[in-house]
Structure 1
Amino acid sequence: MAIDPMEVCRMEIRDSGEPVTIATPEGSVFTRPMIFDDGVDDTALGSMPGAIGQPVFLCLPEDAELIGEGALLTCEDGSEYLVFAEPIRRKNQFTEIRVNEQ
């Protein structure tokens, strides 16, 4: 029996997601479960260690429809992130919300 890939995403959001408060530039405020990925990948260029990446929030595609550039995302711990680009949508996968920490 085949498993719907989006059902796997829904289960992961249900099991691992945390509530994130979204404030849109238009003034709407709502909460949706999301998974935060700090985007930091340790790397080394020659003998120089470092980290590269960009933080993202992973959410369900239907939730991403409500989030656009300029929205402010607030985690339970009070950390805030500003959405700086349109969401990256991938078929049958989480949608990525690219952010900058405030």
Structure 2
Amino acid sequence: MEQALTIVVFSHLRWNWVWQRPQHLLSRLAKRHRILFIEEPVLIEDGRAAHWKLDEPEPNLRVFTPFTRIPEGGFHDHQLPVLKTLLDDLAHRERLHHP
């Protein structure tokens, strides 16, 4: 049996913002593959440490929103060190391996 791929998508769109072509295509791909949809970071306003928020809107589709203490929005260069740490943790938790 063919092993399903894991598709990791970094998006500037929020999954639940407006249903557009990316959500349509990824929902269809999720029928055969595991999808990890990573949204742009959100600023933490309560002083907690950087962390992920996870939503699972459909089977095989996981939406991860990183929360950081970095005020620059989007995938800004200042976000990258924090995101790298979060992504390393995510890769371990989701059992993502390099070929």
The two structures share one fold, judged by TM-score above 0.5: no
Tell me the TM-score range normalised by the shorter chain. Answer: under 0.3
* Bigger CA radius of gyration: 1
Task: Provide TM-score, normalisation by structure 1.
Answer: 0.25
Task: Provide TM-score, normalisation by structure 2.
Answer: 0.25
